[in-house]
Every structure is written in structure tokens, then in C-alpha cells.
Amino acid sequence: MQKLAEISIKRPVFASMLILALVVVGAAAYFRLGVDRLPEVDLPTVSIRTTLPGAGPEEVETQVSEIIEEAVNTVEGIDELRSISGTGSSIVIVRFNLDRNVDVAAQDVRDRVASVLRQLPEDVEPPIVSKFDNDSEPVITIAVSADRPLRELTEIAETTIKEQLERSTGVGEVNVVGGRRRTVNVWVDAEKLVAYQVPITAVRDAIARQNADVPGGQVTGPSRELTLRTMGRFTSAEQFNNLVVDTRNGQPIRIKDVGRAEDGSAEERSASRLNGQATVTLEIRRQSGANTVAVIEGIKARLDELRPQVPQDVRLEVIRDQSRYIYNALHEINIHLVLGSILACLVVLAFMRSWRSTVIAGVAIPTSVVATFGMMWALDFTLNSVTMLALVLMVGIVIDDAIVVLENIFRFVEEKRMSAFQAARAATAEIGLAVLATTLSLVVIFIPVSFMSSVSGRFLYQFGLTAAVSVMVSLLVSFTLTPMMSARLLRGEARKLREQHERAEAERGRVGEGASGGTGAGNGRANGDGNGNGHAPGNGSPPLAASQANAAGTPAASTSRKGFYSYLDRGYTWMLGLAMRHRIAMTVLALLVIASSYPLYKSVLLE
């Protein structure tokens, strides 16, 4: 590192281009980073959802849940297996160890479930095996409203709007809530069924058998072959009314004889209202791994294209939008990032009292933060609450290395009367090992955070690496840009201090000569010697001692430690002396503080 600092001081273009290259890469990567609320985390959890219409919780548990649990229990790496049985539905949740690959685990579960499908009841719907997704909640919700019947709104939402939105990039699912689909409802009179001696199952079987498009095979001719289709699906309620259910004494019994068919709507299973008015809501979920903000922006652009395609009285309103929260949260974090950088620079200005020193130290903040964006893009990180929190916390840390190096250079200039170039080289060499050790100790703290073997470790993976990289960039800046800028920007400070020192030396010299002459004459008169050879040790020796000390190269008094800062300096010196005089007491106090951490830790509530 010392060699790098010397090269940077001698070759300012090299130091500038080295840091500028990192900044340019980071700036280019910043505009390619995705924006999201939280980091993408795949927890190894798989769910099996099975539906058995009309069954109670007890039947579902014994006929579905227990069979699936026994089959899945043989999968390797299961940490927890539990099931939820309700009316007509079964949910089996399988949580695996964190080191288990969720894609491989899901495939193993599908294989086990497929092996027991024949053991499930005949009326059961095929089980759905899916991975647990933390972002399974809708990213955006759209309300479709108008002064129209709900069935008509549902048709517009499903046939026009839903199909267009599903084509948008990153959309995984569009769910319709509060809709009423068009259906042909068949109402059967039980008394008429008894009178005709027709069971209800005959009505059900007749509708299922006759309301269907069935392949009719092929018709082969001398020159071509035709495919036949039996067009048997009904399209109106009147066709259902004329459907033959059974025959009695040679007479057909139709639906209209035992009941009626009407063109209506499906049963209401969900409801959605906007400002007290019934509406149809579209809940849009993103694909696994897709960027939330990019998906939402694509949907909004598609909505602008859809509005001219729907009737003018149909309104498309976004009632829930995760991107608003994400943008607001990132905006607040950016404000704190900027304010933190400004306050850090103001603290440097308050103690250094030099705008040049403030600029030198302040450059470390934007260079370290911007360069970190390049690493984030390379590792496919996003701008989320975790990574931005890491950058905000690092604002006060990345400037530390630059401040330590700069302060030591400033001290060499001020106290040892060195030129800016000499001070930059000597001060960086003196403090280099300490700065390196401090930075590596921080990296050693943050890196293990990214590899914690827990759920928290999955969420903090991006936090630890982002913080560690920003600190390492700040170390590079403190050994390249900081000494290079100090060697050039502190020339004025060195010149000013040199002039003040020369004026002070000249003033002390004039005062010393006057005092020596005066005391010598007085002593001569007192001793009866008119030659002025008398000597007063209390007056004539201080100027001589000061000049000898400066000639020997001992540190001169610091001109920056005056006023309020002198009180801080004296207070710290007094406390340091007190601690050194009472070493045993200080050691015992430190041990007591360390020992108190255990009971204090036990008193903190855990969740």
C-alpha cells in the first residue's frame, strides 16, 4: 500500500484514472440496476394444494392430507411437515433445510405426489405443487368500473383487459376478483323429478354427455381426407331447455319438463367495491425473479394502450401500486444518503477548519458509493431497502480512512514544518498499516453477515457484500486519491503555516534581543560591571531553547489547537494521564463492562 501511495503522489494522472475507472463503471451500472422493495430470497418451502369439492375437514384430512403427507415424508432434507385441512381443501406445507435447492426439492415433491394420485378419491382435483414465494402478493391492482351490469364488466375485464395484461413482460398471473361470469343455470323441480321418476344424476349425466364437442374421426375420400367434429356444445338457454334427459313410454323428457334453464351469472364467490360501487378488480402478480418496478411500469404502459380499446364509460384505475412505496422509500433513503454525506463533510470542516481538507476527505464518499454500484450490478443485486441501508450506514465509515490519512498529513505539515509532498509521503507511510488493519477488521465483520446459515442470512446477503465492497473502495481511495490531493491542495496550507512560523520566530528573536540587552545592562549596574556581561537565566534562555528545538527538528506547537479545540485537547490529555496513572482500576472497570454484557443480553426480549 505504501508503494501505491508513493506512485499516486508522483503520478497524479494514474491515481485519478484508477479511481475514475471505478466511478465510471459504477455510474454506468447504476442506470442498469433494478429497483425493488426487498432482495429476492428463495426459501426452500413447497406447498401442495388439493381440492375435494363437498368434503368436510375430517374427510379431507383422512382421504387427502394424510396420504400426501405419508408420500412426501420420504423426501430428503425435510425440516418441517405440516398440513391444513378445511372444507373441501387440503394444504400440505413442506419446509426444507436452508442448504436444500428449492427447485430440486419441488421436483422431488411432485414425483412423490404423482405416485399416490390413484389412492386419492375420484372427485379430487389434481394437486398443485408450488414453491413458496415471498412476493406472491399482487404488485399492482386495477379496478374496472362503469355504470354497467357486473356480468358485462367481467366479460370486458377477462376478454380484453386480462389478455392484454398477461402479455406484458414479467407478469406471472392476472386474477379476477369480484367478477360474475356468464353461465347458463339449470333449475330443477324436485317434485317433477319424482313425478317423472327421473333421478337428479340422470339430468347431470345428460348435460355432461350432450353439451360437448366430440371428435368425429376422419372421412377418407379418393383424393383427400376430412376431419369431422361433432358440434354439440350449447350456446343458449333455449337449447338447454330442449335437451332430452330421459324417455318414458316413448316420450322424451326434456329439461323444460322437470325445470328450467336461464341465461344468468355464476354464483358470487368474491366481491369487490370501489367507492361503494360494485366493480371488477384485477390482481396482477409478477413472475418469480422479475423486477417489481419494471413489471409495474410495463403494466402502466399497457394500460395507456388499453384505454382506447375499451368503451369510453369504462374506467381503469390503479388502486394499489407497490412501486409508489418503493419509490418513496428509496427517495427517503437517498435524502438520508445525501444529508449524511453533507454532515460528514461539515464535521471534517469543523475540526480541520480548512475547506481544502474538507474537499479531500469528502471525495471519498461519492467515489466509494458510486463504485459499489458496479459490484451490485455484477452480482445481480437490486436497489432495495437492504442495499440502500448498507450504503447509508457506510457513509460515515468510508470517510474514516480518508480522515485518518488526511489528519496525519495535516499534522506533519503543521507540526513538523514539512512541505505538502514530503508530508503526504511520510504521513501515509506512518499511518498506512493502522488504516489497513482498521479497514480489514470492518470487512471481516461484514463479510460473514452475508453467509449466515439462517433465514436472516438470506436477507442480509446483499447487505454484507455491499458494505464490505464500499469499505474496500474507501481503503483504495485513502491510499491513492487522498495523498495525491493532499500533496497538491495542502501547498497553500503549508505556505501559510511556514509564513506564520517565520513571523513568530522573528518576533521571538526581537523580543529575546531586547530582553537580553535590558537584563544585561541591569546586571552590570548591580554588579558594578558596565560592560553588560551580566546574565539572567529566567529571561535570556527561552529564545535560545526554542531556536535549538526547531533546529533539531522537534515538533512545533500546533496552531490549529487553539480556542475551543485547546479545551478538547487538554481534556483528552488529562483523561489519558488519569487512565495511565490508574492502570489497574481502568482494567477492572473494563472487565466489569465486558461482564455486564451477558446479563444485559439476557434481559433483552427475543422474537
**Cell matching residue 185:** 343455470
Residues 69 and 18 in one domain: no
| The residue count for the chain | 607
Q: What average pLDDT score do residues 15-30 get?
A: 91
**Cell matching residue 26:** 459504477
Most confident stretch, 324-338, 372-386, 554-568:
372-386
Provide the pairing of β-strand 182-188 with 259-265. antiparallel
**3-state secondary structure (DSSP) of residue 145:** strand
CATH of residue 463's domain is: 1.20.1640.10
- DSSP summary character for residue 127: P
**3-state secondary structure (DSSP) of residue 245:** strand
Whether 537 has a pLDDT exceeding 70, the answer reads no
Let me know if residue 541 belongs to a domain: no
**Reported confidence tier of residue 399, pLDDT bands at 50, 70, 90:** confident
Residue numbers of the domain that contains 572: 564-598
- Residue 227 phi, psi (nearest 5): -100, 130
Average pLDDT, the chain: 81
- Name the residue with higher pLDDT: 232 or 32: 32
Q: Are 192 and 259 in contact (CB under 8 A)?
A: yes
Q: Which of 496, 515, 531 is the last residue of a domain?
A: 496
Q: What is the pLDDT of residue 525?
A: 41
Provide the pairing of β-strand 34-35 with 382-383. parallel
Residues 55 and 11 in one domain: no
Let me know if residue 388 belongs to a domain: yes
Whether 315 has a pLDDT exceeding 80, the answer reads yes
Site of grid cell 379431507:
60
Q: What is the pLDDT of residue 24?
A: 93
Quick one: what percent of the chain has pLDDT higher than 70?
Answer: 87
Let me know if residue 125 belongs to a domain: yes
CA–CA separation, 523 and 535 (whole Å): 7
Q: What is the pLDDT of residue 594?
A: 93
**Reported confidence tier of residue 545, pLDDT bands at 50, 70, 90:** very low
Q: What average pLDDT score do residues 234-254 get?
A: 86
Let me know if residue 194 belongs to a domain: yes
**Reported confidence tier of residue 528, pLDDT bands at 50, 70, 90:** very low
Q: What is the pLDDT of residue 601?
A: 87
Residues 586 and 471 in one domain: no
Q: What is the pLDDT of residue 146?
A: 87
Q: What average pLDDT score do residues 8-31 get?
A: 90
Residues 359 and 403 in one domain: yes
pLDDT digits (tens, 9 = 90+) for 121-142: 888 888 988 877 666 778 899 9
CA–CA separation, 398 and 337 (whole Å): 13
Residues 459 and 364 in one domain: yes
- CB contact set of 97 (below 8 Å; sequence gap of 6+): 44, 77, 78, 79
CA–CA separation, 459 and 325 (whole Å): 19
Residue 478: left (phi > 0), alpha (psi -120 to 50), or beta? alpha
Q: What is the pLDDT of residue 509?
A: 64
Whether 87 has a pLDDT exceeding 90, the answer reads no
Q: What is the pLDDT of residue 55?
A: 84
Q: Which of 496, 516, 541 is the last residue of a domain?
A: 496
**Reported confidence tier of residue 541, pLDDT bands at 50, 70, 90:** very low
**Cell matching residue 384:** 432495495
CA–CA separation, 597 and 594 (whole Å): 6
pLDDT digits (tens, 9 = 90+) for 173-220: 888 888 888 888 889 988 888 888 888 888 888 888 888 877 778 888
Residues 95 and 211 in one domain: no
Residues 579 and 466 in one domain: no
- CB contact set of 413 (below 8 Å; sequence gap of 6+): 419, 420, 423, 490, 493, 494, 497
Whether 79 has a pLDDT exceeding 50, the answer reads yes
CATH of residue 116's domain is: 3.30.70.1430
Q: What is the pLDDT of residue 17?
A: 92
Whether 408 has a pLDDT exceeding 70, the answer reads yes
Let me know if residue 178 belongs to a domain: no
Query: Residue 227 to residues 213, 224, 231: CA-CA distances in angstroms?
Result: 13, 10, 13
Residues 467 and 572 in one domain: no
Q: What is the pLDDT of residue 549?
A: 39
Let me know if residue 154 belongs to a domain: no
Query: Residue 237 to residues 211, 232, 396: CA-CA distances in angstroms?
Result: 12, 14, 74
Residues 414 and 473 in one domain: yes
* Domain count along the chain: 4
Q: What average pLDDT score do residues 563-568 get?
A: 73
Q: What is the pLDDT of residue 139?
A: 87
pLDDT digits (tens, 9 = 90+) for 472-526: 999 999 888 888 888 888 766 656 656 555 565 666 666 555 555 544 444 444 3
Whether 25 has a pLDDT exceeding 90, the answer reads yes
Site of grid cell 459490484:
375
